[in-house]
Amino acid sequence: MTWRVAVLVGDPLRTPGDALARPVTGAMEGITPWSRQVEVEGGTRLTQQLAGQDGLPAGAVLVTPAGELPYELLLHAVLLTAEEGVARGGLLRALRNVFRQAAEWDVRVLVLPLLGAGVGQLSLEEAAEVLADALSELDGHAADLEIRIPTAGPTEAGVVRQTLARSFPGRVGVQASPEPASPRAASSGEEGA
């Protein structure tokens, strides 16, 4: 697989791409504010598709249409279950499955926020290291993939960029932050998660 990474500061729900990966519990509930917002903005059809999905193990990935979100697909990556907290092993399994599903669904541009980092989860550095481990397994696959990593701010972007650039010089770039979703949203004072 020929792949490249673009790290940017921005809202995952406003970063253009074909598919969005989101961190969830085994019951398909978002575990970050923006991943919970997916359930709201995705609409009723998405909510119905996720209803009844429960008991998935850490590392599993469920693929659904994106509902009313501006993506073709959502890749719901299970990072937290009643039996297992967010851990390096579960995160690595989830990332492997995200990349596997992206290849199977012919995703060309994957929006992949740094999964597994935050309060009660892994540190930024640990989550970025696990992402680097998962990316190292992509070489040799058939399809091309652009991975856009929206981050919450310059500190997170710097950690992700440095960690990935150490392992993959020449494959990690910086992308300008996406423009606001619409002139109406920008003028009404709404902000991203």
Residue 7: partners with Cβ closer than 8 Å, 6 or more residues away: 149, 151, 157, 160, 161, 164, 172, 173, 174, 175
Q: How confident is the model at residue 175 (pLDDT cuts 50, 70, 90)?
A: low
Measured between alpha carbons, how far is 86 from 127 in angstroms, rounded to an integer? 10
Q: How confident is the model at residue 53 (pLDDT cuts 50, 70, 90)?
A: confident
pTM of the model: 0.87
Percent helix, strand, coil in the chain, to 5, is 35, 25, 40
The pLDDT assigned to 184 comes to: 33
Beta bridge pairs of residue 80:
25
pLDDT one-digit tens code per residue, 25-42:
999 999 999 999 999 999
Is 35 or 52 the better-scoring residue by pLDDT? Answer: 35
The pLDDT assigned to 157 comes to: 95
The pLDDT assigned to 181 comes to: 42
Show the tokens assigned to 19.
């598919």
Which H/E stretch holds residue 75?
Answer: strand 73-80
CB-count burial class (<10 Å; 0-12, 13-18, 19+) for 131: buried
The pLDDT assigned to 143 comes to: 67
Contact 95, 130 (CB under 8 A): yes
Q: How confident is the model at residue 180 (pLDDT cuts 50, 70, 90)?
A: very low
> What domains lie within the chain, and their CATH numbers?
2-179 (3.40.220.10)
